[in-house]
Amino acid sequence: MKLNLHNISFTYDLDMIIKDISCSFVSGNFYSIIGPNGSGKTTLLDLISGFLTPCTGHIDIDQAQILSLSKTEISKKIALVSQDYIINFPFSVKEVVMMGRHPHIPRFSHPCAGDMEKVEKMMEVTGIRHLQNRKINELSGGERQRCVFARALCQDTQVLLLDEAFSNMDINHTLQMLRLVKQSVKEKNKLVISVFHDLNLASSWSDALLMLKKGEIKAFGDCQDVLTQKTIMDVFNVTSIVEFNKYVQAKQVYYPTI
Q: Please, are residues 106 and 191 in contact by the beta-carbon 8 Å criterion?
A: no
Q: Which sign, positive or negative, has the C-alpha torsion 74, 75, 76, 79?
A: positive
Beta carbons within 8 Å of 125's beta carbon, 6+ residues apart: 150, 153, 180
Residue 72 pLDDT level (bands cut at 50, 70, 90) = very high
Indicate the range of 106-115, 173-182, 189-198, 205-214 predicted with least confidence: 106-115
Domains of the chain as residue ranges with CATH: 2-83+157-254 (3.40.50.300)
**What phi and psi values does residue 225 have, to the nearest 5 degrees?**
-85, -35
Whole-angstrom distance, CA of residue 198 vs CA of residue 95 = 32
- Angstrom distances, CA of residue 195 to CA of 34, 116, 167, 223: 6, 30, 10, 14
Summarised one tens digit per residue, pLDDT across range 118-174 is: 999 999 999 999 999 999 989 999 999 999 999 999 999 999 999 999 988 999 999
Helix, strand, coil percentages for the chain (3-state, nearest 5)? 40, 30, 30
Instruction: Look at residue 40 in the predicted model and tell me its pLDDT.
Output: 97
The CA distance from 165 to 219, in Å, is 23
204 to each of 36, 43, 52, 170, 195, how far by Cα in Å?
A: 19, 24, 30, 17, 14
Any residues with CB less than 8 A from the CB of 238 and at least 6 apart, and which? 232, 255
- Reduced to 3 states (helix: H, G, I; strand: E, B; else coil), residue 191 is strand
The pLDDT, as a whole number, for residue 14 is 85
pLDDT of residue 84: 74
